Amino acid sequence: MHATIADIVADIAANSIEAGAKLIKVDISEDGNFIVLKVEDNGKGMDKQTLSRAFNPFFTEEGKHDKRKVGLGLPFVKQTCDACGGKISLESEKGRGTTLICSFSSSSIDLPPKGNMADAALSLFSFPGEFEMVFSHSKGGESYCVSRSELIDAVGGIDNAQSLSLARDFLQSQEDSL
């Protein structure tokens, strides 16, 4: 089970990175009634057979996790959505990418805490590789949007303690403004 909504965000977006996506868009929207998460990528995508099994906890793509025979990420996300009066949809096309949209009722007693979105974003931005990620979060009338490349340019990289600290402080300031 994911402990926080931020953990769900990190897990889903990390799947996009692992799927070889070159562009990943993460959007979190809070309107007072629901928290809606949308993760869209242009990664390898899934064929219809794989897509039909994506929420099965006893299935994981061959070669994705060498030592595991199960894939619990999406089944846990679905379980959380269901428990919180939300919905989940997954669309994917082999060679074109994947889009996952899930919602959680803000008033549900089963809603996990939001967690630290700044830390989730920074951990995703820090993954090795050549990819662009656009991370946006809106709540009420306030919002922010930051891309991985903009953040790297602004703090001089994300490969040393000083730049990571600057990046984290910036992302936390964006979260605090919501």
For residue 44, give the nearest of 114, 97, 108 by alpha carbon.
97
The predicted structure's pLDDT at residue 69: 44
Per-residue model confidence as pLDDT tens digits over 90-140: 999 999 999 999 999 999 999 999 999 999 999 999 999 999 999 999 998
- Backbone conformation region of residue 20, classed left if phi is above 0, alpha if psi is from -120 to 50, else beta: left
> Would strands 23-30 and 132-139 be described as parallel, antiparallel, or unpaired?
parallel
pLDDT band at 30 (very low <50, low <70, confident <90, very high): very high
Element (H, E) at 83: helix 73-83
Residue with tokens 């070669």: 63
- Alpha-carbon distance of 78 to 174, in angstroms, equals 28
Residue partners of 119: CB distance under 8 A and separation at least 6 = 6, 168
pLDDT band at 62 (very low <50, low <70, confident <90, very high): low
User: What pTM value is reported for the model?
Assistant: 0.91
How many Cβ atoms from other residues are within 10 Å of residue 177's Cβ? 11
**pLDDT of 64 above 60:** no
